[in-house]
Amino acid sequence: MMVRLWLVLVSLPADAHVMSMSSGDLTVEGARGHYELRMPLYEVAHIKNPESSIFENIHFSSGLREARLMAKNCTTDAAGATYLCTADYQFASPPGYVDVACTYASITVPNHVHLLRASMSGKLDQAVFDLSFTRSTLRFRPPTPLETAVTEIGAGLIRAWAGIVQLVFLAALVLAARSGKELLALAAMFVGGQIASVLIMPHSGWQPAPRFVEAAAALTVAYLAVEILLLPQAGARWLIAAVLGAFHGLYFHLFVQSTNYHPGFVLAGAALAEAMAIAVLWLVFSRISRIARALRPVQVSACGLLAFGMIWFFLRLRS
């Protein structure tokens, strides 16, 4: 069982991305709509026949009548490492709202996020789509405070569970904890590091590239695995958790910056999701440790995390 876990961890980095995001703009004028998409080239590599598949996985409608795709065009911006698409749509009549269905996560990677900004008659709206939320309605009116809170807390919760990479971060924390009390301290410092990163980065004047975020996070996971294996009695592990949280917080910084969501709501949702995941992982690892103590599950899992972190680091350097 533990050998299988090790093999799974080693095989994951090839397809794992912490950052997987595209953005689009929809402009509605009368009964016509103009859509522009920007997607990183490394995401397009996952898509078969991208020019066709992209427009098969996004649809606009109003009044139960789908807008008709009139024209489309896609080009590659090699200098910006971006795939650019534009499209023109015809609605049956000038819409008062626009229903959007977007399933880009089904053709790229499961944790892909698409941020759609829209404008109509000077009014703005936006929506975020991922594997869990594939439909939204653009009403071009300011959301209520409750709608804002629910949407943004939910976005933070989903981002924390967006993919296997996020769970690996949390698994590393659970493995590093030598007691329930220490786990609480590590989890608190991890969340604290995320909060500090999101609050400080806008004032730093530095914009981290997604590839840097992934590579640095990979090294942090690998380092924590080395400490578990070679320094099992090392102190100040809470400091490592804080650093790990700071790097993980860079992802939330980029997400908040892209969406203009409130950092407090996003981080509250993320902290809730991470607390639940840590509790579940702690219960699972505790049971495995009792049942398979002779197989040294902590050490075997740490070896898997080390291999994961190093492979992931070198793959991101080359991507």
Name residue 266's amino acid.
Answer: V
CA 51 to chain centre: 24
Contacts of 162 (CB under 8 A, 6+ apart): 20, 111, 113, 130
Q: Residue 59's Cα: distance from chain center in Å?
A: 23
Query: Which fold, 2-16+163-318?
Result: Growth Hormone; Chain: A; (1.20.1250)
**Residue 255 CA, distance from chain mean position:** 8
Question: What CATH number is given for 21-143 in this structure?
Answer: 2.60.40
3-state secondary structure of 67: coil
- Indicate the SS3 state at residue 182: helix
Supply the pLDDT for residue 11.
45
| Lowest pLDDT segment from 27-36, 47-56, 299-308 | 299-308
Q: Within a 13 Å sphere around the CA of 25, how many CA atoms are in the beta-carbon half?
A: 9
pLDDT of 6 above 50: no
Helix, strand and coil in the chain, % to nearest 5: 55, 20, 25
φ/ψ region of 140 (left if φ > 0, alpha if ψ in -120 to 50, else beta) reads left
The letter for the amino acid at 41 is L
Map out the domains of the chain as residue ranges: 2-16+163-318, 21-143
Q: What's the whole-number mean pLDDT along residues 280-301?
A: 74
Q: What is the mean pLDDT of residues 304-308?
A: 75
**Which of helix, strand or coil describes residue 239?**
helix
| Buried residues in 63-81 as b, exposed as e (16+ CB within 10 A) | eeeebebeebebeeeeeee
pLDDT tens digits for range 53-83? 999 999 999 988 999 999 999 999 988 889 9
Task: Give CA–CA dist 138/35, Å, rounded.
Answer: 14
Q: For 24-51, what is the mean pLDDT?
A: 92
Could you give the CA distance from residue 198 to residue 186 in angstroms, rounded to a whole number? 19
Predicted confidence (pLDDT) at residue 190 exceeds the cutoff of 80: yes
